[in-house]
Amino acid sequence: RLVESSALSVNESALTGESLPVAKQVAAMRDASALVARHNMVYAGTGVAGGRALAAVVGIGMDTELGRIARLVEETHKTRTPLQEQLTRLARVLTVLIILLVAVLFFIGSVLGRSLVEMFEISVALAVAAIPEGLVLSVTVILAIGMQRILHRHGLVRRLVAAETLGSVSVICSDKTGTITQGEKRVTHLFTPAQQWRHPFVLGEEPGTAMRRLLEIMALNNDAVQPLGDAAVQGSPTERALLQAVLEVGLDVKTLAFKLPRVWHLPFDSAHKYMVTAHAAGKHAEAFLKGAPDIVLPMCSKILSDGQSVSLTVANRAQWQERIVSLSRQGIRVLAVAMRIVDATTPALGREQLHGFTFVGIVGLRDPLREQVREQIARAREAGIRTVMVTGDHPETARAIAVEAGIEVAQGSVVVGDELDQWSDEELQRRVAHTSVFARVEPRHKIRIVKAWQARGEIVAMTGDGVNDAPARKAADVGVAVGSGTEVAKQASDLVILDNNLG
């Protein structure tokens, strides 16, 4: 439990499926049953994305969230595969037929006057001969060949019978972050009053004054660093994505930082949701601001248009607000960017002095889809397999990603974990067929969803890459982990996709 916190953000995707780092604070909470809503708690198995904190340990071992998931995995029993069920039924039928045949033969022999010893020997010999001893060997060889063919398509089968069950799957319950999406933030949209760029950015298009300014602010109002050599950009996920986008466009970040050195800054704070840096520029300094649009826009009185700062009218504000809302509904995280000229000799501005900025533009970020995911979901649909998204992410984000991936999302077919808690198992079995997206769900919810589909007679595959999916993968008929997932995910799976390609 947090005791002190300064701009702390934590990546909890392994536990919750939330693709974005979660801002943490010390304030007590009255009611926070959902894991993603507990902003004053940090958990084992998660990573700090930024900031500092002091926390008191209130749970260890099996009392942690990881421990609870481990208990769920331990208590969840693996279901029998269709092949195992069919072989069991075949064994029962053969057993009954052999017993009847032996009994009839024994009776006929006794009636014909044969000795009981002779008839017993004949009956035993017939019973042994009727048992198909080669069936087990034949099935094993066939499954082994199937495993080998799956391996040629970059799939590692960890459980022999899963090679057969894979062909019987009728429903795929898939996690979002790291499975349908890449699990990495990327800048997808750049908007200024005069230009609109979308990823992949067209390098042949010359950036205008406002677009160049936007890129410069993205590079300088940023604590991410670019190491020497071919090492990846280091920093928080958001700032890594911003710096990577600037580098993709071809801006010389090191030269820019040398020309405009930072003189002071106000770090990002989860309570204020913005970051300010000031950079020496000759006789004056330039203050750069980035943060949540609903916080940044009220600080702006002007807008950068055609290289000039002009008044930011009510109509302009409404247009930008509409654009921001539209992007947010598509599951895109939006940052607003602004600038202001300040006196180079004055000390750092206080938070109460942050006004009079010139609005420059907005940046859209999202966790992009994996390559070929849309095609793979369409091919599964053609094969009669339904794909359902089961994620811990925000409902609107989940809906937007599902629609982009090609999952059919009807009105009212997005259900959150709190609603699941109010449904009985029978009601869930009835409603699950009409639900395409489950959002804000926890590991216990995922198990219920898998079992609800199984209760309807479906063969279910559960795919994912995180610790939170492990219990559901074990409960599913086929548990599938992507190669880039956690070791826990792989150990709880029947199949590991080595190249992360779900097709």
Active site residues: 175
What tokens appear for 361 in the block? 């533009």
Which helix (H) or strand (E) segment holds residue 356: the answer is: none
| Cα(425)–Cα(80) distance, integer angstroms | 21
| Cα(166)–Cα(460) distance, integer angstroms | 9
- Judge whether 248 and 31 are in contact, CB under 8 Å: no
- Judge whether 288 and 266 are in contact, CB under 8 Å: no
Tallying the residues shown for the chain, one arrives at 503
Q: Return the DSSP state at 43.
A: -
| Cα(108)–Cα(98) distance, integer angstroms | 15
Q: Any idea which residue has 């947090």 for tokens?
A: 2
Picking from 493, 450, 448, 447, the residue whose alpha carbon sits closest to that of residue 173 is: 450
Picking from 165, 182, 179, the residue whose alpha carbon sits closest to that of residue 502 is: 179
| Cα(377)–Cα(405) distance, integer angstroms | 7
Provide the residue type at 355 as one letter: H
- Judge whether 162 and 495 are in contact, CB under 8 Å: yes
| Cα(152)–Cα(147) distance, integer angstroms | 9
Strands 478-482 and 495-497 come out as parallel
Picking from 193, 222, 188, 189, the residue whose alpha carbon sits closest to that of residue 210 is: 193
For residue 171, give the 3-state DSSP assignment. strand
| Cα(63)–Cα(213) distance, integer angstroms | 50
